[in-house]
Amino acid sequence: MTTRSPAAEQAAMVRAGEWSAVDVLEQHLAAIEAGDEAIHAFNLVTADEARAQARAVDRKVADGGDPGLLAGVPVALKDNLCTRGVPTTCSSRILEGWKPPYDATVVTRLAEAGALLVGKTNMDEFAMGSSTETSAFGPTRNPHDTGRVPGGSSGGSAAAVAAGFAPLALGSDTGGSIRQPAALCGVVGMKPTYGTVSRYGLVAFASSLDQIGPFATSVADAALLFDVIGGHDPLDSTSLNRPTPRVLSVIDDGVDGLTVGVLTEFLDGAAPDVADRVHQAAEALAAAGARVEEVSVPEVTLGLSAYYLIAPGEASSNLARYDGVRYGLRVDAEDTVAMNTATRSAGFGDEVKRRIMLGTYVLSAGYVDAYYNQALRVRTKIIDGFAAAYRHCDVLLGPTAPTTAFALGAKTGDPLTMYLSDVCTIPSNLAGHPAISIPFGAGDDGLPVGVQLLGPALSEGTVLKVAAALEAAAPLLAPPAPAPGPAEGVAT
């Protein structure tokens, strides 16, 4: 088995002078121009900046130089990744128009690898959501069915890759915000081990949980993008000070001798058609040479409760900086306290306000031990539960999301139902472990189903080679239909 890497193949053609970076870019910009009015994957398309990058790549090739592993490959960036001089809004009114004075480390590494940064993608406001409907700039729509959500919070990045607007994209994953939209949009999405990819320049939601990772159309492309962005960064105090192994070179090694545990707790809440796909994935891995068994990690059922104490607590602290004084929106008032209140009231949406209030409550005197500290103890129990499973399993298998993509507006009035969309992804964030979602056919409604592989810390190589084996056995998934234009009645 040799896993295809379309982005790597495209970069190789550009590096060899067989295809110009400018031509590659113009094709993708044309696709964005034709289709994104209906999808709204992007908050901002940086066409002029990307054209300058493409011309620089072509000049380097003409001069006999090597532009890098991603030469001429368009990449979309989630709108919480700082890009110097380019608006970075986190899809919030409070940062509308704010231009960072520096680049995130991952942005720098992409540029050094010759990537073309085509724009900033829509997201749930400050990454708080599971459907990209909390964006202050309107929802993103699923390319497979524009009446459905793309997942969240990185729904714009997932939709951009699914719709063919960019071969690669970056998102951030705090409780499943890469993997869940990848599943709903039918693309590959990976959350690396916490600390393997620098968070410098990522606008923080929950600092002990946030992790940047790749979206791609193939496992090999996800591995390639991880190879480019991973590695120690002295600018990030949480960055692991150790070599990050290259993973693209091992993904074709197969699964012989590996043990895969099917995580029963994740299947218990999954829709029947999603559970069926997970069982088919398990059978495919067994046929490929892996040993497959059922595994129980009861502690993961506590993940949702612990997460919605820890993450809002950290968000309450992180978002205190948006006060109308230093940057972003400022609503003038008669004194500083009134100005702070007016600015935050006008600048934050309902979901962000809900989580700030919840987080402030659980951190307050008299409640921090009963709630926040107790959640930290539960987090340790989840880590211990995974450790017990990994003593006899190399990876775990389950659904990425409990259902296929749901209708726009179906869950916006019920926050708890929306939060349950991440029940299968949150435990990996609490543990800091890597996990990946791979498309594995469609549900009964014809929409994509993603299956999820989880591994212990720093097991990206193993997780990706199992993912490659699953990808090779996956049922065919129909590509999205061309996005309808506004003349066909799709609201934007």
**pLDDT score for 487:** 31
Catalytic residue among 20, 60, 78, 428: 78
Tell me, yes or no, whether 328 and 197 share the same domain. Answer: no
**pLDDT score for 3:** 63
**pLDDT score for 143:** 98
Tell me, yes or no, whether 366 and 220 share the same domain. Answer: no
Tell me, yes or no, whether 312 and 341 share the same domain. Answer: yes
**pLDDT score for 2:** 57
Inside any domain, residue 485: no
Residue that terminates a domain, selected from 373, 408, 429? 373
Looking up tokens 């094709």, which residue turns up?
27
Spans of the chain, pLDDT less than 50:
483-492
Tell me, yes or no, whether 198 and 142 share the same domain. Answer: yes
Catalytic residue among 177, 218, 239, 316: 177
Cα 66 from Cα 71, distance rounded (Å)? 8
Start-to-end C-alpha separation, the chain: 42
Tell me, yes or no, whether 165 and 234 share the same domain. Answer: yes
Global pTM exceeds 0.75: yes
Full residue range of the structural domain in which residue 321 is found: 300-373
Catalytic residue among 130, 131, 153, 316: 153
**pLDDT score for 489:** 34
Inside any domain, residue 103: yes
Angstrom distances, CA of residue 116 to CA of 49, 69, 315: 8, 12, 32
Helix/strand number for the chain, H first, E second: 16, 11
C-beta neighbour count of 264 within 10 angstroms: 14
Residue that terminates a domain, selected from 373, 397, 428? 373
Helix axes 6-15, 219-229, angle to 10 degrees: 60
Tell me, yes or no, whether 20 and 69 share the same domain. Answer: yes
**pLDDT score for 490:** 32
Give the SS3 label for residue 373: helix
- Can 177 be counted among the known catalytic residues? yes
- Can 20 be counted among the known catalytic residues? no
Inside any domain, residue 1: no
Tell me, yes or no, whether 262 and 332 share the same domain. Answer: no
- Can 153 be counted among the known catalytic residues? yes
**pLDDT score for 484:** 44
